[in-house]
Structure 1
Amino acid sequence: MSEIRRILPAERELLLQVHEVFEAVRAAETPELAPVPAERYAGALEHPPPNSELQCRAAVEDGKVLGQLWIYLPHKENTHYVEAELAVRPDHRRRGAGTALLEHLLRFARDEHRSELVVTVRTAVDGGPSRPDTGARFLEKRGFTSALTEIHRNLELGDLDQTTESRLWDESITAAADYELVSWIGRCPEQYVEGLGRIDSQIFAEIPLGDLDLRPRTVDADFVRTREDRAEAQGHTLVRTIAVHRATGEVAANTVIYVHAGEEHAGQAITIVDPAHRGHRLGLLAKIANLRQLREHHPGVTTIWTGNADTNANMVAINDRLGFRPVDALVSYKRKLDA
């Protein structure tokens, strides 16, 4: 009989097994996705996103991790919400570990007085590789419903057509004549911290969230610096480009790529344009400028991964024009909990 217990960052041997479980699932079900090095797991637990907590709960039997929950718990805004990823070793399925972990998660969410529980699963998309539907069916049978579908895409930098990139740049630069693109590696220059926080505070108000109840959060200077401290502590490098309105000095657009030390795969995170400054192709220009900066300073990166809600037509169109191609979908399954 397995027990479900919390695994702490110092428990390196158990965290290595957590890594093994995720890698076994990736190899069996989603081999096209980038591998995650073992050291990232302890770092993520030790350095969670600002104003939140990450926890790992595992089903352990005779010292062996059979399955686990990776839990995200906001502590400032969105304290009604909890999100988790559930994984069970492929060779230990249909023996009750997944059900026990999910029941544990439901109790945990209620104990934390959370009213919205989200569990994410991978599904196939048109033109992408096959994906099993067992995770989705498992959740649907237990009262979860699909709330948001995020299409994950990748870009092989070696396949990026330079002629197309130059044409897109030339076609767009005139529309952005009233803006200056500013790029940097690492920490945000002090003069842009407030503006960066202001535009990032708009994220949950502006990006499509489907049926998820995620409310806007305040991103202030402390949040920006804590986020940078977290990235540095985990060995990540932030590659960022913003667009600044020349007349007012406002930060009008922001895009960032996370480069992971020693890895060929990087993650394209948020790209956002202030609604007051849309219509100037700032999203496209900022992303092109940031890709150029990435190639110059991190030539070892070969692949960029990104994800966008399937209803985010504008950003999907930009990614398509740059050559990103769909791989699969990350679907957020939601269940409302009684108070």
Structure 2
Amino acid sequence: MTALHEYERLEATGLWRADGAAQRREVVVSLGDATLTIADMQDRVLGHWSLAAIERASAKGDRPAIYHPDGDPNETLELAEGEDQMIDALDRILRAVDRSRPQPGKLRHILAGVSAVAIVGLAVFWLPGALLSYSGKVVPPVKRAEIGTALLDRISRVSGSPCAAPEAKEPLRKLAARILGPQRSNALVVLPDGVATTTHLPGGRILLNRALVEDPEDADVPAGYILAEAVRAAASDPLQDLLQHAGLWASLKLLTTGSLPDSALDSYAEHVMVQPNAPVDPQLLIAAFNAAELRSSPYAYAVDVTGETTLALIEADPRASEGSRQVLADGDWIRLQGICGN
């Protein structure tokens, strides 16, 4: 979400405290596309803060600069003198997020008016399907990213923290940029467990099981899974899928308060981890593989080793003769395969 491309690889050291009773500990802070990642000195991830939900506790210009997640002032991050570049980046992002938000009370007033109109007779807003559709349309990208981060945090409690070996971070970004486009270079998350193959979240993230990068000999295989998941995500709005699962009252709360109930997020996170991937029209997949200059056969055989259920992808492989345009250099592929560290 940050449009601050000069900060894409920015890191800093700071002091992080998990809650009011915890001791402060030295951490490494990394600025990502939609999150601020906090890791200990052994590169173990301690937390992800949505950039759309960070507040500054200290006054502008004060050092140390103190930040906390929106709604949780007991968890803090201190950035001292000398980390001015990170402080400046965060302050610029906070200003950008603040400018993108509706004027205070405006959304609530609009939604209250919609509710009043519905009560007096506009039946369309009584229909759950229409209300769910409306809810999804009015939620801005910043809030979608925040919801996706909240779901990832819940999934990570079961799956384990996202794999993040330092030497594999850049190859993962290259893989995302190659398949999804440069603007989504931070969209991929590799998990040690929790999802069978791939899934997607509101805000654009695609989650991969570690086996997809550790087991194949050919980088075309995970690239194919990522591409197929991107096609699947484009077929239906991921936020609409969440709201459909959460139900009418969760959608009403999102409309009126700008947030979803914790119970709805918990339930959908569990659903995402066990829900089988929806089938994708082979013709759409073949067109996507062709556009990405990627062979479809490696993916097809990875899905079904016999090729019986994926025959269409094998027979119509758009790059069967000339092969894929390079997905990753050999060195990057080898480094990516060690992203989970063992």
Would the TM-score normalized by the shorter structure come out above 0.5? no
TM-score interval (norm. to shorter) = under 0.3
- Normalising by structure 2, we get a TM-score of 0.27
Greater strand share, structure number: 1
- Normalising by structure 1, we get a TM-score of 0.27
Q: Which has the higher contact order (CA 8 A, sep 6+)?
A: 1
Greater helix share, structure number: 2
